[in-house]
C-alpha cells in the first residue's frame, strides 16, 4: 500500500489543514493514500469479510473502467498473453461491469448510494453522510449492511 503521510492539527470539529487559534495544539499523522474502506478495516470497524467484499467491488469498478478518465489511454499495450481465461480486454471489461452492476443491485437501492461513494469514489463516511443528507454516524451501519449483501453476491465466506 502506498503511504503519503501528512500532519494534521486536531480541533473540536476534526482535523484542520492549516492555521487556527493559538494555544494547546494536538496533531495527528494521516495517510492520505489510504482508502476510507481500508481505514475502517484497519480501525476495527469492518470485518475481513466485509473489507474483502468492498475490495472486490472496487476492483470490478476499476476493471470496468467506470471512473471518469481522459480521452487518451496510456495503458501499456499487451501483445501476447492469455490472462483472464482467454478473454479479450473488451470482454473482461464487460464481465467486470456485469459483476459490478449485479453487486450494486444485490446491495439494494437505498444502500448502493453510500456503498458507491465510500468504496468506489473514495469519499469518507462523513462526506457521504453530508452528501446524502443523513444523520451523523448513520453511514457506518448502512455501509456494513451493503457490504454484507455484496459479500453474499461475491460468495465470500
47 and 147 in contact (C-beta within 8 Å)? no
Q: pLDDT grade, residue 25 (50/70/90)?
A: confident
- Give residue 117's pLDDT: 94
Cell reading at 17: 489543514
Please indicate, yes or no, whether residues 145 and 101 belong to a single structural domain of this protein. yes
Please indicate, yes or no, whether residues 67 and 135 belong to a single structural domain of this protein. yes
- Give residue 29's pLDDT: 75
- 12, pLDDT greater than 60: no
- Give residue 148's pLDDT: 97
Q: pLDDT grade, residue 32 (50/70/90)?
A: low
Q: Which residue has the higher pLDDT, 154 or 83?
A: 154
Q: How many domains does the chain fold into?
A: 2
Mean pLDDT (whole number) for 133-151: 94
Please indicate, yes or no, whether residues 85 and 97 belong to a single structural domain of this protein. yes
pLDDT tens track for 69-125: 666 666 666 555 555 567 888 889 999 999 999 999 999 988 999 999 999 999 999
Please indicate, yes or no, whether residues 50 and 29 belong to a single structural domain of this protein. no
User: What separation, in Å, do the N-terminal and C-terminal C-alpha atoms of the chain show?
Assistant: 24
Please indicate, yes or no, whether residues 7 and 81 belong to a single structural domain of this protein. no
Please indicate, yes or no, whether residues 43 and 16 belong to a single structural domain of this protein. no
Range of the structural domain that residue 10 is part of: 1-34
Please indicate, yes or no, whether residues 30 and 51 belong to a single structural domain of this protein. no
Please indicate, yes or no, whether residues 21 and 49 belong to a single structural domain of this protein. no
Q: Which residue has the higher pLDDT, 68 or 83?
A: 68
pLDDT tens track for 41-61: 988 999 999 999 999 999 999
In three-state secondary structure terms, 29 is strand
Instruction: Please state, rounded to an integer, the average pLDDT across all residues of the chain.
Output: 83
SS3 content of the chain, % helix, strand, coil (to 5): 50, 10, 40
Please indicate, yes or no, whether residues 24 and 43 belong to a single structural domain of this protein. no
Spatial distance between the Cα atoms of 86 and 77, rounded to a whole number of angstroms: 16
Amino acid at each position: 500500500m502506498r503511504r503519503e503521510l501528512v500532519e494534521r492539527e486536531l480541533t473540536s470539529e476534526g482535523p484542520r489543514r492549516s492555521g487556527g487559534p493559538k494555544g494547546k495544539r494536538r496533531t495527528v499523522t494521516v495517510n492520505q493514500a489510504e482508502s476510507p474502506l481500508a481505514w475502517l478495516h484497519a480501525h476495527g470497524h469492518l470485518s475481513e469479510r466485509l473489507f474483502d467484499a468492498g475490495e472486490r467491488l472496487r476492483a470490478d469498478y476499476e476493471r470496468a473502467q467506470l471512473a471518469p478518465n481522459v480521452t487518451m489511454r496510456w495503458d501499456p499495450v499487451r501483445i501476447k498473453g492469455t490472462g483472464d481465461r482467454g478473454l479479450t480486454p473488451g470482454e473482461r471489461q464487460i464481465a467486470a461491469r456485469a459483476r459490478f452492476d449485479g453487486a450494486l443491485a444485490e446491495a439494494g437501492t437505498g444502500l448502493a448510494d453510500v456503498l458507491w461513494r465510500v468504496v468506489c469514489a473514495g469519499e469518507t463516511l462523513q462526506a457521504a453522510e453530508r452528501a446524502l443528507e443523513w444523520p451523523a454516524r448513520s453511514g457506518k451501519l448502512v455501509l456494513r449492511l451493503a457490504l454484507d449483501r455484496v459479500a453474499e453476491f461475491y460468495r465470500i465466506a
